[in-house]
Structure 1
Amino acid sequence: MTGGAMKGPGVFLAQFMGDAAPFDTLTGAAKWMADAGYRGVQIPTWDARCIDLARAAESQDYCDELTGTCRDAGVEITELSTHLQGQLVAVHPAYDTAFDAFAPSELHGKPDERQRWAVEQVKLGAIASRRLGLKAQAAFPGALAWPFLYPWPQRPAGLVEEAFAELGRRWRPILDHFEEQGVDVCFELHPGEDLHDGITFERFLDAVDGHPRANILYDPSHFVLQAMDYLEFIDIYRDRIRMFHVKDAEFNPTGRSGVYGGFQNWVDRPGRFRSLGDGQVDFGAIFSKLTQYGYDGWAVLEWECCLKHPEDGAREGAPFIAAHMIRRAERAFDDFAGGDSDAQTNRKLLGLTR
C-alpha cells in the first residue's frame, strides 16, 4: 500500500457476461455498470466479448480503443484478470479433465501444452496491463498440493515442500516478466489453490525469494468460509495487498456440517457467498483498515451469490461500496484545540527548564 486514496466502486465483469444484451459486449456491459453507479470495470481476459488478449499485448492502438470504449460508457478499466489462465499454470492430474474447460478445445487432454499456453497467456496479460496503464493483474496461482490438503493419509515428508518449490519454479520467470512490465501479480487466495491463506502465501513467497511482484488480491469472503480472522490478515499482509474484491459471505456451521460442506450445493452449505450486505463480513472495519494503511487500489465488487439475481446484486453493490469508502481526513479532529509548539516550549512542558 502506498498511501493514496482508494478508488471505486468497481465491478468484475466475469459473472455478468453472456450471450444476451447488454452483457454480450464490453460496450453494453460497461454502459449498464456505469448506469448502476460503477466507475470502473475489471476485465476477464479469457472472455472474447471483453478483450482480445493477444491483440492487446501487441497493439497500443487497440488498447487505446479499449480504454476509449470504457471511457465513453462512463467507466475506466480497473485491472485485467487472468484467473483461469493462472489456474492452469499448475494443475494436479486429478483435476486435468475438470480444468480442461479453462483452455481452448485443441488443448484438451494435453496438459503440458495447456500449461505452456497458460504461462504465455498470463505473460500477455502483463504486457496488455502495461499498455493499458494498469498497475496490477489478478490471477490464480494453480495447485499441486491441494489434493493433500487434509493430512490423511499421512503426507510423506517433503511432499508439501516439493509442491511449493515447483510452484515457485513455474512462477518465478512469470514474476520476472511482470517486473519488466512494471505490473504486480495479485493472487486471489482461494480454496482449491495451493495459495489459500496467509501461511501458504508465505510458503510461496519463500519459494520465489520474496519477489516484489508477488502480491495479494484480498477477498474476505474466502477467509470467512475458512473461519479465519480476515481483519488481522490486513494487519499482517497490508504491504502485499494490491487488489480488493468486495464480496460477502456467511458461515453458519451446524451439528451436521461445517467448513467442508458435506459435498452439498452452494444453497445448502454452511459456508455460502452472498450479495453485499446479506452476509457476515464487517466491511466497515475492512474499509477502515485499508484506509488506515493507505490502500490506493480499486474496491471491486465480485458478485457471487447463491440466492440473489446478479443484476439486483450489482445494482445494490455500487451504492454499498460507495457508502463504505472513506475520504481520509487531511487534519486531526482536535487541531482546533492545539497551540503553537517549539522545542523550548516542549522542554518547559516536560519540566526540563526552570
Structure 2
Amino acid sequence: MAFKIFLTGVTGLVAGDVLYVLAKKYPAFEYAALVRSESSATRVREAYPDVRVVLGSVDDSDLLSREAAWADLVLHAADASDHEGAARAIAAGLVEGHSVSRPGYWLHTGGTGILTYFDTVENRLGQPSDLIFDDLDGVETLTSFPDEAFHRNVDKIVLECGTVHAGTVRTAIICPPTIYGDGRGPVSGRSRQCYEMAKFILTKGHVPIIGTGLATMNNVHIQDLTQAYILLLEAALASSDSKELWGARGYHVTSTGEHVWGPLARTMAAKARELGLLKDNGEIKEYQMGKEEALETAGFEAISWGLNSRCKGRRLNRFLGWKAEHPSLNDEIPGILTSEAKSELLVRVAMDSR
C-alpha cells in the first residue's frame, strides 16, 4: 500500500518546495494537497497531475480532520504557526485515524518568531542581544515559553498531541528562521523578510535601519529547509519512534546561518548600486524607521528587521545528519535583489499597459 501524505500550503514557499522534491523522489506515494482557490488548484494540477487536490481552507475543520485521518503523514505549512483551529482539527484527525499498529506522523511548521518574545515583552526594538537558544541541550526551554509568546498557542496544541497520544501520533515541530533562496513550488517561490527589505531599498532608495540596526536573526536557504522535512519524513518511513525526533523533544530549529539586520541592509544597498539596480544610480541614504512605519512598510516582516531571534539548530544535525549545503544569505543577495527588481519592473509594465 502506498504511503499517503496530506500537505497544506503547497501554493506557498515551504510546502511548495517540499512537494517539488517529494514528487521527484517518491512518485509512487499518494499525495493530497489542500488548495484554497480553483485558480491555484489549476496550477497545482498542471504541475502535479497525480496529486489529489482538496479544495478548502484551514478554516474547514472537518475537511482537515478527515484528510489527517486518511494520511500516514501530514505536512502542515498553511498559516500553520498561528491558526489554532487548523492545528486542533489536524490533531483530532490524526488521533482518530491512527493506532499503535499504524501511527500517524505530523510535520508541523512553526517558526523562530517565538524567540522574539523577550524583545517584545521588554518593548525593545532594534537593539542587540546576546541571548542564544539551543534546540538540543535547551529544548525544554523552547517547548515551555510563556503562553503569550508568538506561535506558542499553536505549539502547545502540537506538543500536547505528540505527548498525550505518543503511541499513535508522532509530532515534529520544524521552526525555520528567515528563509531565503528561490522556492520551486507550483505557485509562489518567494519568501518575505529579506525580499521585502530588498523591495524597500529598490523602490524607496533608502537603507532601512531600525534602532541601532544590531538586532540579529538566524537564516536558512529554502532548499536546506526542505531537506530537513525530507529527513524527518524518511525517519517516518522507517517507522522511527525516537523520542529525540518526535513528541516532547521533537522541536527542530532549522538554522544554518546568522545575520545582523542593519549590516545586511547596508550590504544589500551597496550591491544594488553595484548591479545598477538603483534609480539613476544615485546615492542611497540610511532611513531610521520606527515600529509603526515598519508595520506600514511590510507588516511584521519589517518589524522583524528590529527583532532578535537567535538559536543553535543542532538537533536535526545530531540525530539525522542535517547540514547546510546551499549558498549563504550573503551569497544570495544579488539573486534576491535581481528577482525583486524584475518583479517591480513587471508590475510597472502591467500598470502602464492598463
Instruction: State the TM-score, normalizing by the size of structure 2.
Output: 0.30
Q: Which has the larger radius of gyration?
A: 1
TM-score (norm 1): 0.30
